[in-house]
Amino acid sequence: MEQLMNTEERILNSSDLSEREVFLLRRTFEIAQEAKESGNHPFGCLLADKEGNILMEMGNREVTDHGDCTAHAETLLMRYASQKYTRDQLKDLVFYSCAEPCAMCSGALYWGNIRKVVYAGSEASLKELTGDDPRNPTLNMPCRIVFAAGQKEIEVIGPVADLEKEFLKIQENYWNPSKTEKK
Which residue blocks in the chain are alpha helix, DSSP H?
19-37, 73-84, 87-90, 103-112, 123-130, 143-148, 161-175, 177-182
Query: What phi, psi does 41 have (nearest 5°)?
Result: -65, 145
User: Of these residues, 62, 74, 123, 164, which one is catalytic?
Assistant: 74
Is residue 37 part of the annotated active site? The answer reads no
Quick check: 46 and 20 in contact, CB under 8 A?
no
Q: Tell the burial category of 50 from Cβ atoms under 10 Å away from its Cβ (0-12, 13-18, 19+).
A: exposed
* 43 Cβ contact list (under 8 Å, min separation 6): 32, 35, 59, 60, 72, 73, 74, 97, 98, 99
Query: What phi, psi does 92 have (nearest 5°)?
Result: -95, 5
Which residues are catalytically annotated?
74
